[in-house]
Amino acid sequence: MIFRSGTGIPMRQRTVKREFRRLLEAAGIRPIRLNDLRHMAAPLAVAAGVSVKLISDQLRHASISFTLERYSHVLPSIQDEAAARVERMLMRSEDFHAGREPGAMGL
């Protein structure tokens, strides 16, 4: 059981749903299904740079491949950011080995 009452007993599904709706309303968030949180968490974690292996494990997916297929729509922007990070790292490394100031272009 994931949700327990204040006395420690498992909460009924309808009670969990009702409380979730109440919390959404109090926070001014549009109504969503509780399961939607799961589907929102994975792309947010990918965007934050969390390891896909860790995300897959947390969501209890059978494989990383399934996680990647399910949330591949998030990956293009993540790939762009990853490429930019590698480029910045390489530029710093080239500057260091060439004796130039970091970030200086060797033109």
Q: What is the pLDDT of residues 29-49, one digit of tens each?
A: 999 998 888 888 888 888 788
74 shares a domain with 53: yes
The answer on 87 and 54 residing in a single domain is: yes
| Contact by Cβ (8 Å): 95, 101 | yes
**Domain tally, the chain:** 2
Instruction: Give SS3 for 4.
Output: strand
Q: Are residues 53 and 94 in the same domain?
A: yes
Same domain, 52 and 94: yes
Could you give the 3-state DSSP secondary structure of residue 10?
Answer: strand
13, part of any domain: yes
The per-residue pLDDT for range 5-25, each reduced to its tens digit, is 889 899 998 999 999 999 999
Domain identity same for 55 and 69 = yes
- Structural domain including 16 reads 1-31
Instruction: Determine the longest span between alpha carbons in the chain, in angstroms.
Output: 70
Residues 58-96 have pLDDT tens digits of 999 999 999 888 887 766 666 777 788 888 888 887 665
Spatial separation of the C-alpha atoms in residues 66 and 20, rounded to whole Å:
28
Query: Would the pLDDT of 105 be above 80?
Result: no
Predicted TM-score (pTM) of this structure: 0.54
